[in-house]
Amino acid sequence: MHLQLLSLLASAVLAVPIIDREQQALGSAGGNGPYNPDNNDPYDHKVDSYAKGWQPEPWRNGHGATVFGPRNRDRERQNPDMIRPPSTDHGSMSNYRWSFADSHMRIEEGGWTRQTTVRELGTSTEIAGVNMRLDYGVIRELHWHKEAEWAYVLEGNVRVTALDTEGGNFIDDLQKGDLWYFPSGHPHSLQGLSENGTEFLLVFDSGSFNEESTFLLSDWLAHTPKAVLGENFRVSPQIFKHMDKTDKYIFQGSLPGSIDEEKPDGAGVKKSKLQFTHKMLDQEPVNTTGGLVRITDSTNFPISKTIAAAHLDIAPGAMREMHWHPNADEWSFFIKGRARITIFGAEGNARTFDYMAGDVGVVPRNMGHFIENLSDEEPVEVLEIFKADQFQDFSLFQWLGETPKRLVADHIFQHDPKSAEKFLTQIHDAEKDPIKSGSGTNSE
């Protein structure tokens, strides 16, 4: 009898549904913004869950369910379109997002470095990036690479030195927003200036680049017989007795004087005819309805033969228009703000990624995409970088505006003449607007 009673009680317990605490917390009032089962959004509007403090949940237009299992809630708030992708996402696409926060940090005397290459982000095949910090007087030692090096100063001041193939020397002091470019094999050095030193983004024209494999002066000397060093420099080998036996890489150096005080003045010294640096943020920007665009490539920075770049300031609520690049993959580095990008890969494939400061994004050449500022209050600052001598893109707006109207209408509005008329009026002038301001039409 007791056994029968226990069996009945156990059956009753098993029949009671498990309470979904997540769903219960959301409630029917939608206290978690749009992330609740009652939310209906057929147009897939953007959501800035990070700023709003909302916890993304896999609910979309009544479909989905909450997550029981282990969760990284902070990461989910940073990537809301991974948890609840737009209904237009479809198919299988590779990953096109990486954060420098997930890259290994190499810490040295007075500085550090971390890299994003094809090893960290498998789709980053054309370009590799290195984020580096040098404190005041700290030196990235004299070295060279197989790959060309392009760089953007993120903060602070830095001194660069270089030598060209004709034996001309180059020295310049750079600040935030300035660039440098050293072609393959050109020897150079970097040193932090000012009280707080510098931080910069290095870009190399090969995704398989490895910061650990650069050709370092100290490494070469340490692996050359001292007798050979003596013969080469016409000195006694004994003077190399106390030389470092390992590479220096990043190290605290003596504080630099002015360029005039430090420039070489020997009989055989000559100044380079090449300009290895460029002031990108000093360029006159292209003013769009939704922000500012500055483009730097071989047309205005002639030495930069393998890297082209655009600096974008995308205003709150604005969007980098729908476009694609025919000549190279886009490698983006986000400096400020939060954005989403949907990549269209043909064959019905599309996937949306979210980015914030310190993130890297890749869009393969010819794949359609946009960059939408998730915030209506904060701007997005981003670098678009390409392994190319010139910046090139195609605007969807401009393309349709310069195509016969009948043809456009037949493609998109064949059975809706009223909508066709409105659309064709909007694209009539075909004026390219790289960053479009928020129009307010998304609320309709």
For 409-420, the pLDDT digits (tens) are 999 999 999 999
E strand or H helix that includes residue 200: strand 188-204
User: 45-70 pLDDT, tens per residue?
Assistant: 999 999 999 999 999 999 999 999 99
Shared domain check, 128 and 60: no
Compare 99 and 24 and report the one with higher pLDDT.
Answer: 99
Percentage of the chain lying above the pLDDT 70 cut: 92
User: 252-306 pLDDT, tens per residue?
Assistant: 999 999 999 999 999 999 999 999 999 999 999 999 999 999 999 999 999 999 9
Q: Does the annotation flag 369 for ligand binding?
A: yes
Pair 188, 144: CB distance under 8 Å: yes
Q: Does the annotation flag 311 for ligand binding?
A: no
Q: Does the annotation flag 45 for ligand binding?
A: no
Per-residue confidence (pLDDT) for residue 7, from 0 to 100: 57
Examine residue 139 and state whether it is found in any structural domain, yes or no: yes
The mean per-residue pLDDT over the stretch 99-105 comes to 98
Active site residue 384: yes
Shared domain check, 43 and 108: no
Shared domain check, 271 and 143: yes
Examine residue 286 and state whether it is found in any structural domain, yes or no: no
Q: Does the annotation flag 242 for ligand binding?
A: no
DSSP label at residue 387: S
Shared domain check, 67 and 171: no
Distance CA 47, CA 56 (A): 9
Shared domain check, 215 and 107: yes
Examine residue 321 and state whether it is found in any structural domain, yes or no: no
Shared domain check, 236 and 115: yes
User: 10-19 pLDDT, tens per residue?
Assistant: 554 444 444 4
Cα dist from 17 to 14, 20, 345, whole Å: 8, 9, 43
Given 236, 253, 279, which residue is the final one in a domain?
A: 279
Per-residue confidence (pLDDT) for residue 29, from 0 to 100: 40
Examine residue 196 and state whether it is found in any structural domain, yes or no: yes
Shared domain check, 153 and 258: yes
Across the chain, what does the average pLDDT equal?
93
Q: Does the annotation flag 149 for ligand binding?
A: yes
Shared domain check, 240 and 173: yes
Examine residue 325 and state whether it is found in any structural domain, yes or no: no
Q: Does the annotation flag 143 for ligand binding?
A: yes
Q: Does the annotation flag 330 for ligand binding?
A: yes
Given 253, 279, 305, which residue is the final one in a domain?
A: 279
Range of the domain at 31: 18-83
| pLDDT range class, residue 425, cuts 50, 70, 90 | very high
Examine residue 366 and state whether it is found in any structural domain, yes or no: no
Distance CA 270, CA 253 (A): 25
Examine residue 153 and state whether it is found in any structural domain, yes or no: yes
Per-residue confidence (pLDDT) for residue 185, from 0 to 100: 98
Examine residue 162 and state whether it is found in any structural domain, yes or no: yes
Q: How many domains does the chain have?
A: 3
Per-residue confidence (pLDDT) for residue 176, from 0 to 100: 98
Given 235, 258, 279, which residue is the final one in a domain?
A: 279
The mean per-residue pLDDT over the stretch 143-158 comes to 98
Buried/exposed 327-353: b ≥16 CB within 10 Å, e otherwise = ebbbbbbbbebbbbbbbbbeeeebbbb
Shared domain check, 265 and 200: yes
Shared domain check, 74 and 186: no
Pair 64, 58: CB distance under 8 Å: yes
User: 120-136 pLDDT, tens per residue?
Assistant: 999 999 999 999 999 99
Determine which one of 372, 384, 421, 444 is catalytic: 384
Shared domain check, 129 and 45: no
Distance CA 364, CA 374 (A): 22
Q: Does the annotation flag 186 for ligand binding?
A: no
